[in-house]
Structure 1
Amino acid sequence: MDPHFAIPLVNGLQLCYSLQGIPYFIFNLISDPLININAYFIPPKEGKKLQEYATFLGDIGVMIKSSKCSIAKCEQEIITKVKISAADRSVFVDGRNIAVKDKAVHVVTDMDVRDTTIEFGETFKKKRPYVVIELKQSGLAFKFQFTNEHLDLIVLDYSGISKHSHGIMGQFLRREVTIKDETLQLNDRSLKFKRRPTWDFLTSNKLCLHAISSHGYQAEGIIEGSYTDYIMDTLFSTNFKYRQFYLSV
């Protein structure tokens, strides 16, 4: 079942769960003071023998916040928008179409060059194009990999993410957790899980704590609130119940 989320936890393990969402709706994945990531959920292509409730990540919209700073002060808030589309494997940075075919190409946004780069390349084995967005000084890096007709989102570095980050994925990053037997305690939630291996797309099989939903396929009892709380109007919307990404007026 996709989307299937594998979230790195502070203790080195991964928390895995499924949230099917609704085809042709947009959901927030990560809302953080520095970055906002939304995803457009799509159904499988006709003819594919998958469960009727299967969905995938089709388009992803990323908003990155930075400030133009001098030695004395920060004068201007800069917002960079990145749209990644699985259907035609296109990438737009602030409306400019960027070629994905070239390996190891770095595109620097109009933000501080020391802080943010966008890298394009291909995985070594399967020649799958990918996009890496990295906020170097901020300790944030995410990999968006083109896989067949959809996208996979892989967290490379979350050391700089806020402990108050939210979203379907963001609410688990940098959170203190305790594990006893087959229960994971996270804030006010107790999640039952089964230990199983999973593929993490980067290295090899890792042990994953597969959280058990109270019922259905919408991560009930795993995520905070209801999956409908994370529905967004557009790929670059930021306003929802648990938002942490704000724009200055």
Structure 2
Amino acid sequence: MPREYVTQNHFPNYFNGSEIIVAGKLTNRSSDSLHVQVTASNSDRSLVMEKDISLSGQERETKRRVEEAEAGPNADGYVERLWGFLSVKDGLNGRLRSHTSSERENFTQRATELSLSYNFLTPLTQMKVETPQVLADGTIAEAEPTEAPSAHSDLANQLAEEEPMGDTPQSLHRNKEQPATVPIAGKATNGLKRPGKKSVTLSKTSADGDPHFVVDFPLSKLTVCFNINGEPGDVLRLVTDHKNSGVTVNGKLIGAPAPPGSHKQQRTYFSSIIIVVDKPRRSYIEVTPRKVIVDGLDRLILPCSSSVTVDNKDLAVAIVANANVTVTIQGTIQFIILMHIYKNPAPYQRDHLGFYIADSKGLSKDTHGLLGQFIYEEVTLTQFPGNITAATGNDTQEISITQTNPEAGHMALQVKERTVDVVKKSRHIYSGTHTVHCWFAKNNAAKLIDGQYRDYVVSHMFDTEDWPHGTNAH
């Protein structure tokens, strides 16, 4: 709704238990929903909350309340008059906060028009009590119209309701170009973290699904993938850079029965992911498909069903309702966690999470973990003669490699002076919206990762211990 149809929507302070009322007049009555955005900030944090409110669902209850309010005598148009009263009050306050003569004149004109329209006695209007004039024919002459006092009069400059706020009001309505959902935190505006307007291009490096791991090697122009067949309840170390950036990422697995026809007896997915940040101070973010816990200077529990952005100096968390969570650390590290939520899940489906590395510039070359160990690595492919057919697996596609293909023969991956047999596969990422062609390492990424996959199972979600193992033999 346009700014001129909304009452005061900027408040300098809010205390626990206090009440804030904002009234507005809809200009598009055919709309099915109303988009509401609330921003708040203090000395070290800013918060943005968004929600789309269904208007059709509120129509019956609103109608009942309006009928009750207008049931009394002389109460016709009660709700509209209430909006008019609050708008006049807001205009009078705006006059005191105005910084220019044109701004002051606009507030004055708006408040005056509403005062006259609804017959409100305000500092901008006058009420005259006169003895009616009886004409010769016995009728009463019409009263002359009441004029508003000058904007420069002493009466117009008086306001008894509230003290001036001192800040320019900010609009609560959504701009036309602003999307309804927000992929990542945007740039700061007046100290607040605003939702961005453009979606971020994610890296392929991720752990999603069963869980399926994808590692992108941009310098080598190669993408490698592997599976980890863990057990329900296992906590996997995804990223650890505890000594340098202070960042550690762990994910907990949940079990689910395999779908009919699957070669597996069970599947495992990430049910929760924790990001621990030890620098410059201890904090953590815990993400599940239903809620996000941000524990830093204060502890916030945020529902995943609402779009919220929290900016706490070196740590920003942006939630896009029921879609994803973006965590930005010190402006140089960014992780995106996708939420996979089923409305009517099949017996083999579980709500789960996917973990993606969007920006790793702030991670050191000592970074480790199932994904972290490859961030600064380069790999090469070598070719052996022969024909290989890739096995079919979950979210993969069978591809035959023959001598007629450019990538003919049995391929081997050289990583950290180790040789790993790989085959070509296709993998679906970003909730199935993108397909990645990758070289697949079998047997829980044997020889591809340092050590064995059980070395990456940690004791609990907040474990930040350094990588205690060495590398594999050649």
- After TM superposition, is the score higher than 0.5? yes
User: How far is 1:195 from its partner?
Assistant: 2.4
Which of 449, 462, 466 is the aligned partner of 1:223?
449
Q: Which residue of 1 aligns with 2:359?
A: 157
Whether the aligned pair in 2 keeps the contact of 1:10 and 1:175 (CA below 8 Å) is no
Per-residue CA deviation, residues 147-183 of structure 1 (Å, 9 max, x unaligned), is 1311111121223322221111111112122223322
User: How far is 1:121 from its partner?
Assistant: 0.6
Which has the higher relative contact order, 1 or 2, with Cα contacts under 8 A spaced 6 or more apart?
A: 1
- Equivalent-residue separation in structure 1 for 2:258 and 2:452 (angstroms): 31
Q: Please list every run of at least 4 consecutive aligned residues from structure 1 whose deviation after the TM superposition is greater than 6 angstroms.
A: none
Residue 282 of structure 2 aligns to a residue whose secondary structure is: strand
Could you tell me which runs of 5 or more consecutive residues in structure 2 were left unpaired when the two chains were aligned: 1-208, 342-350, 384-410, 470-474
User: How far is 1:47 from its partner?
Assistant: 8.0
User: How far is 1:232 from its partner?
Assistant: 1.4
Which of 51, 54, 63 is the aligned partner of 2:267?
54
Which of 338, 344, 357 is the aligned partner of 1:145?
338
- Equivalent-residue separation in structure 1 for 2:231 and 2:335 (angstroms): 24
Whether the aligned pair in 2 keeps the contact of 1:159 and 1:174 (CA below 8 Å) is no
AA matched with 1:120 = I
Q: Which residue of 2 aligns with 1:125?
A: none
Whether the aligned pair in 1 keeps the contact of 2:249 and 2:276 (CA below 8 Å) is yes
Aligned-pair identity in percent equals 24
- Equivalent-residue separation in structure 1 for 2:279 and 2:460 (angstroms): 21
* TM-score after normalising by structure 1: 0.77
User: How far is 1:17 from its partner?
Assistant: 0.3
Q: Which residue of 1 aligns with 2:230?
A: 21
What root-mean-square deviation, in Å, do the aligned CA atoms of Structure 1 and Structure 2 show?
A: 2.3
User: How far is 1:24 from its partner?
Assistant: 1.0
Question: Where do 1:112-191 residues align within 5 Å?
Answer: 113=313, 115-122=314-321, 128-135=322-329, 137-138=331-332, 140-148=333-341, 149-181=351-383, 182-191=411-420
Whether the aligned pair in 2 keeps the contact of 1:16 and 1:209 (CA below 8 Å) is yes
Question: Where do 1:50-129 residues align within 5 Å?
Answer: 51-67=264-280, 78-86=281-289, 89-94=290-295, 95-103=299-307, 105-109=308-312, 113=313, 115-122=314-321, 128-129=322-323
User: How far is 1:136 from its partner?
Assistant: 5.0
- Equivalent-residue separation in structure 1 for 2:288 and 2:413 (angstroms): 35
Q: Which residue of 2 aligns with 1:38?
A: 250
- Equivalent-residue separation in structure 1 for 2:222 and 2:358 (angstroms): 14
User: How far is 1:53 from its partner?
Assistant: 4.1
AA matched with 2:382 = K
Between structure 1 and structure 2, the one with the greater Rg is 2
Q: Which residue of 2 aligns with 1:212?
A: 442
Aligned residue pairs total: 215
AA matched with 1:147 = H
More strand by share: 1
AA matched with 1:189 = R
AA matched with 2:234 = F
Q: Which residue of 2 aligns with 1:195?
A: 424
Per-residue CA deviation, residues 181-228 of structure 1 (Å, 9 max, x unaligned), is 322211132222222232231863222121233xxxx33232211222
